[in-house]
Amino acid sequence: MSQIDAYSGATIFDGASRHEHAVLLVQNGSVLDIVSEDDIPPDCTQHILGGGLLAPGFVDLQVNGGGGVLFNDHPNLDAIKTICAAHLAYGTTSLLPTLITDTPEVQKAAIAAGIAASKAALPGFLGLHIEGPHLSVARKGAHDPALIRPMSEDDLNALKIARQSLPFLMTTVAPESVSNAQIAALTAAGILVSLGHSDTDFDTATAAAIAGAGAVTHLFNAMSPLHHREPGLVGAALQSESLFVSLIADGFHVHPAAIATALAAKREPGRIFLISDAMPTIGTDLQSFTLNGRKIHREGGKLVLADGTLAGADLDMISAVRFMVGTVGVNVDEALRMASLYPAMCLGADTRIGHLKAGAAADMVHLDQTLNIKSVWRGGKKL
């Protein structure tokens, strides 16, 4: 029988509830059980954590870059390795490298890189998020309008084929650029369809959800707003019970009061979860970089184009958790769920990640009382 590692000395949050005076048992990279301190198996290796909170590793479904690398500029396996490594230090143990709207050639290279990462069983790699190019020019955000276009049958088939070789595949589309039949076909192929960068109306967005769309990308940003006569995509996202909704909690993309209102309004079982929407600045002192030939500046915690348009985020997941707790007023356990369990549920990956119940991957973060990261483990291996 292989070695059992026993982690004690910290409160254990398993993704649903807390366990005091308990021990987390790990074997072969997976959670074996959570037991009382009196039930530690003999001959196990004990790790005394010395206070704080042991929680599930974070799951980030929108990561454009990190460690000085932008996936669009380097759509290859080495870039994916760099991005996964950069975010691990901030508690993110699983992520989707994200390709922003680009040329068909770059998208093909990105998909090939994702397939290579999957074949290599790269730690932390969950699959890909293809954000665009099938969006709305009216709500383009930082996406290059010259590259935005409707989805063709060839585009549809390319994504369906890619999904066959990837653990997970997510794509952000606007109902203006895809049909409900295409959404249904993507969903039937096992692809998570997320609505975003869209000026659609409430009824059209609701119909897209009925057709199979499962999520909404970065709530409030680059989408038709909530109006009392036309609720838009924001209204559909909050009203729908089936749609999960991602959120950038950095204090720049969405006002804290709007976040609190959305949390109060969201109909479940669909949940609001956190994303970083991170760019290559994470883990570096970079002050600028380029996206589709346009310079993006790092200014006071945000990333902007020359005209002031927000271009992704200078954000990591533990900072987003601290913002939700310290500024929005969400309790710690719920903020942690928003960074781990809920995105895993959205993707359909919660059998293995997003929690610390028996059978889950031993992806863990050890936090102190002020939610600073003390240690990170992925698959039972400490950073």
Question: Which residues form the catalytic set?
Answer: 277
> Residue type for 366, please?
H
Partner residues linked to 245 by β-bridges: 216, 272
User: What is the DSSP code (8-state) at residue 135?
Assistant: S
Closest C-alpha among 120, 124, 188, 181 to residue 151: 181
Burial class of residue 35 (count of CB atoms within 10 Å of its CB; 0-12, 13-18, 19+):
middle
Q: Distance of CA 191 to CAs 41, 162, 211, 382, Å?
A: 42, 10, 13, 32
Distances (CA, A) of 318 to 176, 275, 322: 35, 11, 6
Main-chain dihedrals φ then ψ at residue 342, nearest 5 degrees: -65, -45
Q: What is the DSSP string of 3-65?
A: -EEEEESSEEE-SS-EESSEEEEEETTEEEEEEEGGGPPTTPEEEE--SSEEEEPEEEEEE-E
Give CA separation, 360 vs 94, 306, 343, in Å. Answer: 13, 44, 15
Dihedral sign for Cα atoms in the order 365, 58, 115, 351: positive
Which residues make Cβ contacts (< 8 Å) with residue 44, sequence separation at least 6? Answer: 3, 4, 5, 6, 25
**What does the alpha-carbon distance between residue 24 and residue 77 come to, in Å, rounded to a whole number?**
34
60 close to 316: Cβ distance less than 8 angstroms: no
DSSP assignments along 103-120, one per residue:
-HHHHHHHHHHHHHHHHT
